[in-house]
Amino acid sequence: MPAKTSDGGIIKTEASPHCRLRSVDLSSVRWTEGFWADQFQRCKEVTLPHLFKLADDPEMGHALMNMRIAAGLEEGEFAGTNWQDAWVYKWLESAAAVYGVTHDAALAKQMDEVIEIIAKAQEPDGYIATQIQLREGWKRFEDPHRHELYTMGHLTTAACIHHRITGETDLLDVATKCADYLYETFKDKDPKLAHFPYNPSLIMGAVELYRTTGEKRYLDLANTLIDMRGAFPGGSDQCQDRIPLREEDSVVGHAVFYTYLYAGAADAYMETGDRSLLDALDRLWHDLVEKKMYIHGGCCPLHRGLSIRNGNVWAADDVHEAASSPYHLPNATAYNETCSQVGCFMWNFRMLEITGDARFADVMERTIYNSILSGIGLDGASWFYTNVLRWYGSEHVLLSSDDHQRFQPGDPAKRRAHICCPTNLLRTVAEMHGYFYNVSGEGVWVNHYGGSTLDCDWIKLIQDTNYPWDGNVKITIERPPESKCAIMLRIPGWCNGAGIKINGEPAEVDAPAGTYATLNHEWSAGDVIELTLPMAVRLVEGHPKIEETRGQVAVLRGPLVYCLESPDLPDGVNVPEVYIPRDMQFTPRHDPDLLDGVTVLEGTAKRIKQGDWDGKLYRRLEDTPMEDVPIRLIPYYAWCNRGISEMTIWMPLA
């Protein structure tokens, strides 16, 4: 095995001393055909150019116009949110990832033109935040809610990806100049600046800049921001700075803030080995996954609420877009901002690299196939900001950032605030191939399944599968390693009875659910691994303390959470009237013409007619007869692509 395994994947961990797994080079993985190849194609052909067009439109996104004004290339006033600059940076990161696959000269030129504007917009001392630069009377670091460090954090991350893929340094030069300014500003831990890493994307960005450049001051900057959190009075659970991270045992507050903080702390641990960070992250992971996470991976129950500690409601913090108390997981009023699931996905990937523990890849899979992909329409150009588990159609009461139909960013009828999730989802899909595989001194780790090739300098393998629609995976060794090495296959936590064959013969290997099955072998060209992951339909219940799911079940198959949507019911039947028998049998059927091709689950459920509820909040229980009703369930991620509808994940038991 070569000592150098990566020139820089999603995170550049080839030299990180405290992680078990290493990222593979983004250029070493390519989609072939299937689910993720289709997702990437739509991303490349529709979403990427569409979001650039909106960002470039002064009447819609205004994001590039803000940059042009700050650069002195245009006249005008700032427009948009305090995080509008991040639209540009996340688009650039996405474009770089797509360019790494396509080597499209026109896309390279487009990136160069945007970077030139950014460089001109930057202040001589390195500061860049157009929301401050263009507003009269606004000064630097007056109000944490102005998100200066958040936008600059996305700048640093985008610059690292762009440099590693293109080899160019123009955006990296902007980022290092910015980070030098921030290092000098924050190095002394001035209490007046304690609460300014409000949304702490800069922690991830600073560590990645350290990995990319080797300059230790950027790692020091990241650790300074971690150390300042919760170290000074005046903090709040809203942004996780009431209690120092190393002492925290409860996931609190804004879900993007906490997932970005934990992902950044995991990055810092990989470089420093600070065990107090890892211990805290492990405690918090268990708190989230075992008490506060939705079945579809959502991790942000509250539009707005209270963070209560030790039962003291009078000292509670006002929180929004936030985690809730244990087992409080409302369905119809769930927030579940798409960005929060993206942040959770990134955090779990880092924990996977640290430990090699399959539980983190399981969470990644749950979120990406369900509550992340649900955030984008099948047209590639419409989005949801929130991801509820139950919807009452056109009568559903809209809360913050809810929509009856998927929105267009920058739509004059909507708020411009609808910009962070589209670009975050864009970069996740554009970079998804970087999450599929890892390497270590032991060999290759196959984290996820989809038609793809992995071509490192010491091994090449080809993965053929129709996952997630079926569980048959074939991996062919096209170029074997020179010496014996292992291939680790993740056996998802939902899968019982996985089977593995090598060249048609059963492999003598343990393959329990929720682990990696290790295949130690002297590989030869043409060797074939066959992995079978049984995909029985399963009914799932919630913890008894989740009041919102008592007496109800969700239906899952493979990694997919299914939902009942009103277009799939007979005329006159409403979603709340459908009940699921405990012994209900579902028949999977792939429909290539429905919702861009999905496997549906069909069966006969029970119906109890609702009757007349007008003017009633309660009524005497009636002995209403049940009747059979045919239903069809679709993958949750594909809901609301056929107009306004009713929908639910959780259904009452008959």
Spatial CB neighbours of 106, under 8 Å, sequence gap ≥ 6 = none
- Say if residue 372's pLDDT is above 50: yes
pTM score, two decimals?
0.97
Phi, psi for residue 578 in degrees, rounded to 5: -90, 130
Please state, in angstroms and rounded to a whole number, the distance separating the CA atoms of residues 191 and 176: 24
Whether the Cβ atoms of residue 635 and residue 557 lie closer than 8 Å to each other: no
Residue bearing tokens 């399944």: 449
Helix, strand, or coil here: 441?
Answer: coil
Tokens of 31: 């989609």
pLDDT band at 407 (very low <50, low <70, confident <90, very high): confident
H/E stretch holding 150 reads helix 148-166
Q: What percent of the chain has pLDDT over 70?
A: 98
- Identity of the amino acid at 334: A
Instruction: For residue 164, count other CB atoms closer than 10 A to its CB.
Output: 22
**Which domains are present in the chain?**
22-435 (1.50.10), 437-532 (2.60.40), 538-652 (no CATH)
The pLDDT tens digits of the residues spanning 302-320 come to 999 999 988 888 889 999 9
- Say if residue 417's pLDDT is above 80: no
Helix, strand, or coil here: 188?
Answer: coil
Tell me the average pLDDT across 199-222. 98
Whether the Cβ atoms of residue 21 and residue 439 lie closer than 8 Å to each other: yes
Instruction: For residue 132, count other CB atoms closer than 10 A to its CB.
Output: 22
Tokens of 275: 């065990």
Please state, in angstroms and rounded to a whole number, the distance separating the CA atoms of residues 541 and 384: 26
Q: What is the pLDDT of residue 7?
A: 55
The pLDDT tens digits of the residues spanning 11-62 come to 999 999 999 999 999 999 999 999 999 999 999 999 999 999 999 999 888 9
Whether the Cβ atoms of residue 201 and residue 150 lie closer than 8 Å to each other: yes
Helix, strand, or coil here: 604?
Answer: strand
Give the closest residue to 128 by CA, choosing from 91, 107, 159, 98: 159
Spatial CB neighbours of 230, under 8 Å, sequence gap ≥ 6 = 240, 241, 242, 243, 244, 245, 247, 248
Tell me the average pLDDT across 229-247. 96
β-strand partners of 590: 599
Tokens of 18: 């405290």
List the alpha helices (DSSP H) in 384-527.
420-430
The pLDDT tens digits of the residues spanning 461-501 come to 999 999 999 999 999 999 999 999 999 999 999 999 999 99
DSSP 407: B
Please state, in angstroms and rounded to a whole number, the distance separating the CA atoms of residues 298 and 319: 17
Q: What is the pLDDT of residue 419?
A: 75
Compute CA 466 distance to the chain's CA centroid, rounded to the nearest angstrom.
22
